[in-house]
Structure 1
């Protein structure tokens, strides 16, 4: 299976969320380590065509190309277009191997079987339930058997067990693009931010209806961030999407330290530059949290409850639960630990 592999087509389809997709990047790195001369191509089966994460992942440094197929299939015509689009991609890429990263569902399994029967391309997948392993040339055991961790990133390593690959602490990855670099290098002059003051980043985020429950209490967050900013003599920059500008303004009501609301002022690629400019980035459990971790910027993740499933555990990351005033002390101490880490 490992001989003469130059092109690997990965199939994903779980969630189009920025964080969900970025968390797969640790497995991409593991594959690159195993097959250093191979190009990785990602096919994402989406129910949200055009989602913002597509722009970010299409520029990811570990991927040679990125493609999507709409998986909202309502009838025979949709199914025919689905397989037609896949066949076209396979002919264009001519991969040596297809890896189905997903443990559940049958669409990705059927694509792997189709590629094996029509184009003689071997595949690797997860035998999650009886019979699913038959769709693949090689199979990994069920995630229910081998997945012991609560870390969401580890789900993408289940299929890699077919190669004998273990995660071994690999972090997720993201590199600043040219768009991000240009934003970072010009943001101080564009927004009249003093050149000699370190930046403290804050993403309140969680502005979509399904994520609102993950948004920290603004009063507690305001008090905690204010104390961190005062202790670090920094300038606060708030990130966010257009529809999150209002919550940033509510946060800034009565806030008497230097701060700037940049919600809606960056696209997803420029956001990486904004994060990279910060000495410390504080974020709720949302896409920018995972971006900051992947960029290896000192990152404080703020959660409304203990949620190890979403945590990253690396020297440049701390995760805190902010539910009451009693939690503010740990918030501050964790932030200052990271502030010190960033200067070392």
Structure 2
């Protein structure tokens, strides 16, 4: 098999972190089939979400498409298949890989493409009869997955193709808009010529608020690292997260700038790329920084290995008490060492 154009289907959350997780699988596939174009379809209930802008400019993709998967009537089913057919006619894939283990909507699309266009399909036989929708069937996730790392789930469908993760990280490239923003950022905001320390408190949606650490504890970690780095602090975030940033900055006596709501998702790639160290909670910018290979200190409120990334430029720490402050600071300082020293310490 030597596909010229491969169409991947994913249908989970449209969140930035969730969508970026798939890029490790796309990268591994590209390394196995370097001549194949890579196209991605996101089946989503949240069309227009900010992650679509990010993925539409992703350096691994030849094209990105989103299809509304909300089905309430026969009319919606017709629209669903028509939207998919438009993508297939445009991309003309000779291979479709369904990365999702659950549900049947992506399975129906694979069967449709297989019967109408004769396209070879790969999918996961997660439960009885689901494998019948595909030309090539992967074993169920319960038999294949050996870790709780969320990124690994996207490799289950690739196993029949002989593709394994082998530590492949998620990937993101700085966009042209990001590069332009990074190159003008200091001048536009009159930032001194010091190292930049980034902070993303984030987690501003109702379902994510529990992921925010104590501002008191976080403030001590950030202030200590900023002092040791002699850095300028820049806070990121969406416009609705400005309040939490301002709460953090109350009585904060070191130089800082709140950039919440002042960048697009594309410009944010450049802002993150400018940081010597990025501190973030478990949110979209955390995964962006990891994918951009920026030294990243991820702060969690409890042990949550599903969201951890295990690479030399990443440290994941739990910050739930004052006793954990020193450990978080040490982890941040480790990331400021040359990469060779970081790898030696792992």
What is the rounded CA distance, in whole Å, between the counterparts of 1:176 and 1:186 in structure 2? 15
Report if aligned partners of 1:316, 1:341 keep a CA contact under 8 Å in 2: no
Report if aligned partners of 1:12, 1:45 keep a CA contact under 8 Å in 2: yes
Q: How does 1:279-298 map to 2 (within 5 A)?
A: 279-298=276-295
The residue that corresponds to 1:225 in the other structure is: 222
What is the rounded CA distance, in whole Å, between the counterparts of 2:37 and 2:245 in structure 1? 41
Q: Does 1:209 align with 2:225?
A: no
The residue that corresponds to 2:45 in the other structure is: 47
CA-to-aligned-CA distance 1:5-40 (integer Å, 9 cap, x gap): 100000011110000010110000011011100000
| Aligned match for 2:308, one of 299, 306, 311 | 311
What is the rounded CA distance, in whole Å, between the counterparts of 1:6 and 1:99 in structure 2? 13
CA-to-aligned-CA distance 1:193-230 (integer Å, 9 cap, x gap): 012x0000000000000100001111110111101111
What is the rounded CA distance, in whole Å, between the counterparts of 1:111 and 1:178 in structure 2? 34
The residue that corresponds to 2:26 in the other structure is: 28
The residue that corresponds to 1:144 in the other structure is: 142
| Aligned match for 1:116, one of 114, 117, 121 | 114
Report if aligned partners of 2:312, 2:339 keep a CA contact under 8 Å in 1: no
| Aligned match for 2:274, one of 274, 277, 287 | 277
| Aligned match for 1:322, one of 291, 307, 319 | 319
The residue that corresponds to 1:105 in the other structure is: 103
What is the rounded CA distance, in whole Å, between the counterparts of 2:245 and 2:91 in structure 1? 44
What is the rounded CA distance, in whole Å, between the counterparts of 1:92 and 1:259 in structure 2? 47
RMSD: 1.0
CA-to-aligned-CA distance 1:301-320 (integer Å, 9 cap, x gap): 00000000000000000000
Segments of structure 2 that go 5 or more residues without pairing to the other structure are 342-346
Local SS of the residue matching 2:7: strand
The residue that corresponds to 2:330 in the other structure is: 333
CA-to-aligned-CA distance 1:56-108 (integer Å, 9 cap, x gap): 01110000000111001100000011111111221121100000000001000
Q: TM-score when scaled to structure 2?
A: 0.97
Q: TM-score when scaled to structure 1?
A: 0.98
Segments of structure 1 that go 5 or more residues without pairing to the other structure are none
Query: Residue 342 of structure 1: CA displacement?
Result: 6.5
Local SS of the residue matching 1:50: coil
The residue that corresponds to 1:12 in the other structure is: 10
Query: Residue 341 of structure 1: CA displacement?
Result: 3.4
Q: How does 1:159-198 map to 2 (within 5 A)?
A: 159-195=157-193, 197-198=194-195
Local SS of the residue matching 2:254: coil
The residue that corresponds to 1:128 in the other structure is: 126
User: Number of residue pairs matched?
Assistant: 341
The residue that corresponds to 1:79 in the other structure is: 77
Report if aligned partners of 1:298, 1:341 keep a CA contact under 8 Å in 2: no
The residue that corresponds to 2:93 in the other structure is: 95
The residue that corresponds to 1:59 in the other structure is: 57
CA-to-aligned-CA distance 1:167-217 (integer Å, 9 cap, x gap): 00000000001100011111101111012x000000000000010000111
Q: Does 1:156 align with 2:150?
A: no
What is the rounded CA distance, in whole Å, between the counterparts of 1:340 and 1:240 in structure 2? 27
Local SS of the residue matching 1:159: coil
The residue that corresponds to 2:344 in the other structure is: none
With over 3 angstroms needed to count, the CA separation of the structure-2 counterparts of 1:343 and 1:261, relative to structure 1, is: farther
What is the rounded CA distance, in whole Å, between the counterparts of 1:309 and 1:31 in structure 2? 22
What is the rounded CA distance, in whole Å, between the counterparts of 1:336 and 1:274 in structure 2? 21
* Structure 1 residue ranges (4+ consecutive) displaced by more than 4 angstroms after TM superposition: none
What is the rounded CA distance, in whole Å, between the counterparts of 2:50 and 2:249 in structure 1? 27
